[in-house]
Amino acid sequence: MLRVLEDSDDEEIKDDDGESPEESAKDSAKEDHTVKPFGGTGGDAEILDEESSDPEIQLDLARAYISMGDKEAARVILDEVVINGSEEQREEAKKMLELLVR
């Protein structure tokens, strides 16, 4: 936030931490803006936590992948539901897999 100085051409405008806008720009230019890989390792995807491996959540995620056009990701998730889901969830996953083939 900048403070306006009244009737004072001699004083420099400074922000809340006492730096002029030019000093702030120099400091931010020195900051490290390196992009780090998501998940911290940059390798293979880490194992899903317990909550996200819930078959109902996986079905929702598969629907989202299908709507985005990522059939392969949806197929992988649906295969997991076929293995780990309840009877009803397995049936729904099988139907969705059949639709992916078309």
pLDDT single digits (tens) 55-91: 999 999 999 999 999 999 999 999 999 999 999 999 9
Nearest CA to 75 out of 92, 55, 97, 57 is that of: 97
Instruction: Give the count of domains, the chain.
Output: 1
State the DSSP code for 51. G
Residue 89 lies in a domain: yes
Residue 28 lies in a domain: no
Residue 55 lies in a domain: yes
Which residue is it, tokens 């996986």? 58
Does pTM top 0.85 for this prediction? no
Task: Please report, for the domain that includes residue 97, its CATH number.
Answer: 1.20.58.2200
Domain range holding 94? Answer: 51-101
The 10s digit of each residue's pLDDT in 27-53 is: 555 555 555 554 444 444 444 454 568
Which residue is it, tokens 């780990």? 84
